[in-house]
A = this chain, B = another copy of it.
Amino acid sequence: MSSYHLSASKSIAMMKFLALCFFVMINIPIAEARIRHYKWELKYEYKSPDCYKKLVITINGRTPGPTILAQQNDTVIVEVKNSLLTANTAIHWHGIRQIGTPWFDGTEGFTQCPILPGDTFVYKFVVDRPGTYLYHAHYGMQREDGLFGSIRVALPDGESEPFAYNYDRSIILTDWYHKSTYEQAAGLSSVPFQWVGEPQSLLIQGKGRFDCSAANPPMKADVCNNTNPECSLYSTTVVPGKTYRLRISSLTALSALSFQIEGHNMTVVEADGHYVEPFVVKNLFIYSGETYSVLLYTDQDPARNYWVTTNIVSRNATATTPPGLAVLNYYPNHPRRSPPTIPPSGPMWNDVDSRFNQSVTIRARKGHVYSPPATSDRVIVLLNTQNQPNPHLLKATISQIMTSKLYKNNTNATTSDAIYRLQLNSTVDIVLQNANTMNPNNSETHPWHLHGHDFWVLGYGKGKFDPINDPKKYNLVDPIMKNTVPVHPFGWTAFRFKADNPGVWAFHCHIESHFFMGMGVAFEEGIERVGKLPSSIMGCGETKHLLKP
């Protein structure tokens, strides 16, 4: 489907969201919590995150933006001033459920009008659960311009995590393109279709390395310069013999990743803000929109530094995108001292089984299990496929027009302009069914992100979902709760959630270009229970007429 269909869909969602109003005001639990106040200015600036100079969106001059630090039940206030010249924006608080404040979810077209250049928009919401979350632009493909950062919510004073650690670090993984998001989006909207292709580099906490000397045709030093200190590799210093909590998250535009630290194991303890029954990995597979905490024990030879690497899996980018590199710096070695080894290579890109196995290994931690409802009121099956609705696209060998259509009820649907109205407090099962891409022998991983809720991950399967037998195998004992979940190549993923958060919520593939092309739907629940809307979110687009004086 085209983005225009989605726009129409979004407008309808937005109008429904507005058309309600003025009913019961939901109470927000803020008891004794603190206010965390941030003032941000968004600008286009020239930066060289991987040594190639291009325009990025900065927050107070930085990308990634500042990490939001808060404690459970604090109220976070972020004043966002848009200084992006002629471009609008909106910021989504990824993993924050926005209970009682659905209008501050920051999803342009779903929950708010965009923030216009020159305007300041104030987000105000409660972080009601401890854990690792994210924020990022949720408008067009702006996230890829560098507008993102971490949210770290600690437990209240006096409470402690079910695992011990000495230090805490946040690391965001991204893939990086040299074309602007305007150019990428124009290509996706073009006839013939122009696919964005593989990224030019991978960034670890905003730093990467593109080999300027290998560029063909060559680039001038004022465009690409490998000696620019702006693109020195990310280095994180550790003290030997300690335990580090690394909060690893991915906000890639396209890539599924593997993350590893040379010579070290990692113990996974948190996923999307929920405690995981600990398990040890050498490679952490992570999909766009996911967050994990791993424990790292600095128990290796302290006389040297170690490579931190990330590489693309699920798509074959071995010829196009080098691994992302960073340095684990053992104090007192110099932070810029290269490890004496060749950076270890990660797992094979097409090793689907290992990734599938990690997914099924992730369970709720004992003593921290939230039991799911035993049954659901409704099942929605979404087929993830790519087709060719436009005959002009037939020539494009990698045309990837995404549609997520109703698998059973609505087999004729070819677009995703679907709004699902969910009964408030009903239990809903979603089954994501993967299929092939344009190439019949190929299937990709799609990470799906649900706004406003966490869900119980009931199961993963290979091949076609069997609606009679597969539900019998659902894990109802200790399913992990998440907000983002992958559907593996040619496989299926099932999850359950309570539609208990009045509002309109996006549910979409977190791959930026897939969402841009229409791979997303809206869930609407209990909007008659939403309180009076703040006027700041209104007054744009198709909804403007509601405000006519």
Contact = CB atoms under 8 A, between A and B. Distances in A.
A180 interface: yes
A254 B504 CA distance: 47
A218 B216 CA distance: 9
Interface in A195-252: 217-220
Interface residues of A, number: 48
A482 to B, nearest CB: 29
A524 to B, nearest CB: 20
Given A89-B86, A116-B114, A183 B55 contact: yes
A109 B119 CA distance: 12
A472 interface: no
12 contacts: A7-B118, A46-B190, A55-B186, A85-B185, A86-B142, A87-B182, A116-B540, A117-B140, A119-B542, A180-B182, A217-B217, A217-B218
Nearest to A183: B55
A189 B118 contact: no
Contact of A535 (B180, B536, B549): B549
Contacts of A547: 539, 547, 549
Contacts of A536: 544
A541 B116 contact: yes
Interface string A55-68: 10000000000000
A535 B118 CA distance: 21
- What are the 10 closest A-B residue pairs judged by CB atoms, nearest first? A86-B140, A539-B539, A44-B186, A217-B218, A85-B140, A535-B548, A86-B87, A87-B87, A7-B118, A217-B217
Interface string A20-59: 0000000000000000000000011110000000010000
Given A88-B88, A88-B116, A217-B220, A46 B535 contact: no
Contacts of A539: 539-540, 544, 547
A11 interface: yes
Contacts of A190: 45-46
Interface of A: 4, 7, 11, 43-46, 55, 83, 85-89, 109, 113-114, 116-119, 139-142, 180, 182-183, 185-187, 189-190, 217-220, 535-536, 538-542, 544, 547-549
A45 B140 CA distance: 16
Contacts of A88: 86-88, 116-117
Nearest to A194: B46
Nearest to A540: B116
A9 to B, nearest CB: 11
Contacts of A109: 118
A182 B116 CA distance: 16
A113 B113 CA distance: 14
A529 B349 CA distance: 70
Contacts of A220: 217
A187 B11 CA distance: 35
Contacts of A114: 86, 116-117
B217 A43 contact: no
Nearest to A548: B535
A48 B366 CA distance: 62
Contacts of A83: 4
**Which of A186, A189, A535 is most buried by chain B, counting CB atoms within 10 A of its CB?**
A186
A87 B116 CA distance: 9
A104 to B, nearest CB: 17
Given A87-B87, A217-B217, 18 more contacts: A4-B83, A55-B180, A55-B183, A85-B140, A86-B88, A86-B139, A87-B182, A109-B118, A116-B541, A118-B541, A119-B540, A119-B541, A119-B542, A180-B182, A217-B218, A217-B220, A535-B548, A539-B540
A114 B541 CA distance: 11
A85 B142 CA distance: 10
A116 B119 CA distance: 14
Contacts of A544: 119, 535-536, 539
A206 B119 CA distance: 35
A185 B55 CA distance: 11
Contacts of A142: 86
Contacts of A548: 535
A62 to B, nearest CB: 15
Contacts of A141: 85
Contacts of A140: 85-86, 117
Contact of A189 (B43, B117, B183, B185): B43
B116 A55 contact: no
A245 to B, nearest CB: 36
Nearest to A82: B541
A434 B218 CA distance: 43
A392 B189 CA distance: 41
A100 to B, nearest CB: 21
